[in-house]
Structure 1
Amino acid sequence: MNKEIKNISVAVLAGGLGTRMKSEEPKALSALLENPLIFYTVEALINTRRAFNIYRGYKHRVIIGKIGIVIGHKGESVKNYILKEKRFKVKGVLFDFAEQEKYLGTGDAALKALDMFTPADDESSLLILPCDMPLIEAKTFEDLIKFHLDNENDLTVLSVKAENPYSYGRILKDKNGHVKEIVEENELANYPKNIGEIKEINSGVYVVKLNHLKRLIKKIKPDNLKKEYYFTDIVNIFFKNGLKTMCYTSFHRDEFIGVNSKSDLLDAQKALQKRVLRRLMENGANFISDDNVYIGYNVEIGKNTTIYPNVFISGNTHILNDVIVENGCVIKESFIAGKTAIKSYSILEEAFVMDGARIGPFARLRPGSLILEGGKIGNFVEVKKSIIGKNTKAAHLSYIGDALIGDGVNIGAGVITCNYDGVKKYKTIIEDGCFIGSDSQLVAPVKIGKNSYVGSGTTITKDVPEGSLAIARMPQRNIAGWAAKKMKQKKTKKQKQDGA
């Protein structure tokens, strides 16, 4: 059966100054769980598009085409981000941009948005939304569009019931349930008192028939206290022109956190963090607490992996199955394979930890560190830009930098690879099966041959052949009677001081 095609265009309003954010960067690029605000809006739109492509049970074939973005303050940086973001490079998703040179209100932003749509788009409906409501999910957009199409509306407002409607526009309806007006908070004084008590509020998201919008948008006038062009006025304009205006009311109040200040941003982060944890737990991860962990939006955690309290995991970190991450750990941009343990207060950055390895407690893996299967990096050991072989151990108080260490090597306490001469860094190579005694220094460039031993306290400056024992330290001398002589000197000195 051939379904009727319904085209939906999109306009994202991202040109606001965001003065309450107290930042020079555009509000659209404000970081929320390590992604810009606008990322979540665009991701939800792309997921909505996918949902309509996959879903065959709906009576229409809905095609979400161009995503137009209205930019303003430092808009070029917003444009560059959108065009470079790899996750937005989806077949069939096209972006266009319009510039709002002066911020004259949301009505003016919507007027600028129309520049991105040609007469060929006039038969489509336009989804209009702000960039600063990052928690609205794809399912909500999907349901809103279906409601708009099923009811053959000319304009649909996405509304929500709020316990405290303060600062939001109130929805006014006629006796038939059609939306006749949206009253902004700062205009309530001009209306009867009961209007302020209305709990149904405007989300700032609309679906509107594009041809009617093009015809009527210039009727919006700055007849308000701020002397701005409010896009909310288009509702009353449509209503007075006999067009069908309705609300689709969402009951997911947690999705409607608008970000206009740093405080709002923190509220959104808390809500989004709960959502991230819920997704990871649904996929099999375990969290001992959900109140005092930070898990970035892009982090992936496998089944039966347990995350302790006070853990910070960020970036594109990928943790596989059956891993334990104990309290106080910080993990950034790292890969951790299965059945490993990251013990308390360890720090990993751009590191790779393979199956069955043990890290910490109080260990540090700096960028470029690769710990192979069964490796152990213990307390107060720092590894930088090094490969640690299978079943190799560095259990205590060592620094390993710019090193290639083979399998089955034992690194004693206090071992240091001296990799830097003040100008250039050099490589240390330790082959399979070596034993490096405690408190040894390996002055790079140097190579320790397979199955060799380095005696404790040795400073290695030359290569050690395979199967050798290397010792480089002063011979021990035992001086008889030295301690008694020293004590006599101390006693004499004290008597002189007491007599002075």
Structure 2
Amino acid sequence: MKIDVIILAAGKGTRMKSSTPKVLNKLANKPLLQHVIDTCALLKNAKLQIVLGNEKNLIKASVKVPKGTNWISQKNQLGTGHAVKQALSSLRPGATTLIMYGDVPLVSLSTLKKLISLKKNQLGLLTFITENPKGYGRIVKEKNKVVAIVEEKDATKKEKEISEVNSGIVATSAKDLKQLIPLIKNKNSSKEYYLTDIIGLAVKEKIFVKTIQPSSVGEVLGANSPEELYELKKAYNKISANALISKAVKFADIDRLDFRGEIKIGSNTFVDVNVIFEGEVNIGKNCFIGAGSIIKDSVIQDSVVVKPNSLIENSLIGSFCKIGPFAHIGPEAKLETKVEIGNFVEVKRSKIGKNTKAKHLAYIGDGEIGESVNIGAGTIFVNYDGKKKSKTKVGSGAFIGSNSSLVAPLKIGKNSMIGAGSVVTKDVPENKLALGRSRQRNIKRK
């Protein structure tokens, strides 16, 4: 089955009170329109037709689209029906046509698959039940069959009590769409051509209107104002959390966390409150993510403990590691199995071997550290000379005493020891004790 997806993205979005085109406002670090594109692109044999109006060049430059996407210009914004009309000539014969909105980003793939599963002479309409239908077009039925959509301003008192409302998302055959769209009139106060009018027209043409409902109301929320965008973000968090809960992920409170990207979490992992996930994050099984932590573009393997208020960015954390509290890992850090990075330790552009520990107040930058190394409190990897950054290599089994400064470029051999308070500027061979500090003198006080 061929699927032609018409995405309406020509609206000015004046109620957003922003210089940014409405469909480019971001949800989870992606434009609203990008969410719609990404979901629709997952439909088999889908071809996208995106209708643009204002700021079309900016919008085209701001999103990624599948090969073969057709960009269509709506020079005059005369309503949603008029926008769809601009795309009719691009529809493939025999295709099912799905009409989407660029500011309604959370419709799931499973919902779309149900909507496009049509028989001959059917039109699919995505509706939802709400306790507060104010502002939505009511779905009017007779003998359990849809006969019309009545807008709020035109609804009778009885019709306003209807709780099933229109999302605006429609699917039908290209043939039927080409028949119905030209029949839409602009006999209304706005002098616009409304896509919703095709429902009544379809009924007149003996086309059966099949209603489909999403898994949650959050799927069909749009963003026409800053307030609605805020509600959309809350819905995204809830949908994301519930999807993970179904896979045995545990949350302290799904209303107190923030998803800002593509997040995968393994079973039996616990996420405490006020955690932020950003970008592409992959967390394994049986982990603990402490309150107030931020995980960005990182992989965390199984059975890792991230204590509260830790930041992990663009890094790989091996299984059974312990991080934090108040640790900063990354960017470009790689921790192997059973590494412990404690409070107020920063690790940047470094590789740390298994069983190594840096538990207190240290800076590890541009380091390559072997296995079972102990890095004492206050240790600094001095990696920058004012012009360039250099690397420090520490062999397995080494012991770095507290308050040491390791001045790169530097190599510290296996099983060597650095005395506390040392400033080390020369390479240390294996199995040696290095002391780089002045001799203590006890002088009589005056």
**What's the TM-score, normalizing by structure 2?**
0.91
Query: In 1, distance between residues paired with 2:314 and 2:233?
Result: 24
- Verify the 8 A CA contact 2:114 2:212 in the aligned structure 1: no
Gaps of 5+ in 2: none
Alignment partner of 1:439 is 2:410: no
Change (3 A) 1:225 1:285: same
Shift of 1:372: 1.6
Query: In 2, distance between residues paired with 1:176 and 1:270?
Result: 33
Query: In 1, distance between residues paired with 2:422 and 2:134?
Result: 73
Shift of 1:263: 1.7
SS of the equivalent of 1:163 reads coil
Gaps of 5+ in 1: 1-5, 51-63, 486-500
Counterpart for residue 15 of structure 2: 20
- Verify the 8 A CA contact 2:40 2:46 in the aligned structure 1: no
Letter in 1 for 2:209: M
Counterpart for residue 161 of structure 1: 129
- Which deviates more from structure 2 when the two are superposed, residues 358-367 or residues 269-278? 269-278
What is the 5 A alignment of 1:104-123? Answer: 104-117=78-91, 121-123=92-94
- Verify the 8 A CA contact 2:133 2:165 in the aligned structure 1: yes
Counterpart for residue 389 of structure 2: 425
- Verify the 8 A CA contact 1:25 1:74 in the aligned structure 2: no
Change (3 A) 1:157 1:405: closer
Alignment partner of 1:100 is 2:74: yes
SS of the equivalent of 2:135 reads coil
Letter in 2 for 1:386: S
CA deviations 1:223-264 (Å, max 9, x no partner) are 222222222233344445x34252415275513322212222
Query: Which of 121, 126, 131 pairs up with 2:97?
Result: 126
**What's the TM-score, normalizing by structure 1?**
0.82
Counterpart for residue 380 of structure 2: 416
Shift of 1:348: 0.9
SS of the equivalent of 1:422 reads coil
Letter in 2 for 1:103: Q
Change (3 A) 1:413 1:139: closer
Shift of 1:161: 3.4
Shift of 1:22: 2.6
What is the 5 A alignment of 1:4-83? Answer: 7-47=2-42, 49=43, 64-80=45-61, 83=64
- Verify the 8 A CA contact 2:203 2:209 in the aligned structure 1: no
CA deviations 1:341-395 (Å, max 9, x no partner) are 1112111111111122211111111201111222111111111111112211111
Query: In 1, distance between residues paired with 2:323 and 2:214?
Result: 46
SS of the equivalent of 2:119 reads helix
Query: In 2, distance between residues paired with 1:269 and 1:226?
Result: 31
Change (3 A) 1:451 1:199: closer
Change (3 A) 1:400 1:114: same
CA deviations 1:33-66 (Å, max 9, x no partner) are 233323443444355x35xxxxxxxxxxxxx542
CA deviations 1:52-102 (Å, max 9, x no partner) are xxxxxxxxxxxx542322123333454455545xxx68xxxx532212223
SS of the equivalent of 1:314 reads strand
Change (3 A) 1:284 1:229: same
- Which deviates more from structure 2 when the two are superposed, residues 36-45 or residues 405-414? 36-45
Letter in 1 for 2:357: K
Letter in 2 for 1:458: S
- Verify the 8 A CA contact 1:376 1:393 in the aligned structure 2: yes
SS of the equivalent of 2:280 reads coil
Query: In 1, distance between residues paired with 2:236 and 2:385?
Result: 47
Query: In 2, distance between residues paired with 1:415 and 1:8?
Result: 60
Counterpart for residue 149 of structure 1: 119
Alignment partner of 1:369 is 2:330: no
Counterpart for residue 170 of structure 2: 206
Q: How many equivalent residue pairs?
A: 445
Letter in 1 for 2:26: A
Query: Which of 183, 190, 195 pairs up with 2:150?
Result: 183
CA deviations 1:414-433 (Å, max 9, x no partner) are 11111111111111121222
Query: Higher strand proportion, which one?
Result: 2
Counterpart for residue 356 of structure 1: 320
SS of the equivalent of 2:97 reads strand
Letter in 2 for 1:11: I
Shift of 1:175: 6.7
Query: Higher helix proportion, which one?
Result: 1
Query: In 2, distance between residues paired with 1:198 and 1:459?
Result: 77
Letter in 2 for 1:407: E
Query: In 2, distance between residues paired with 1:175 and 1:392?
Result: 72
Shift of 1:193: 4.5
Identical positions, percent: 41
Query: In 2, distance between residues paired with 1:35 and 1:472?
Result: 51
Counterpart for residue 229 of structure 1: 193
Shift of 1:291: 2.3
- Verify the 8 A CA contact 2:52 2:72 in the aligned structure 1: yes
Alignment partner of 1:304 is 2:268: yes
SS of the equivalent of 2:125 reads strand
Alignment partner of 1:139 is 2:110: yes
Change (3 A) 1:306 1:197: closer
Counterpart for residue 261 of structure 1: 225
Shift of 1:178: 4.6
- Verify the 8 A CA contact 2:27 2:233 in the aligned structure 1: yes
Question: Which structure is larger by alpha-carbon Rg, 1 or 2?
Answer: 1
Query: In 1, distance between residues paired with 2:7 and 2:17?
Result: 22
Counterpart for residue 326 of structure 1: 290
Letter in 1 for 2:372: G
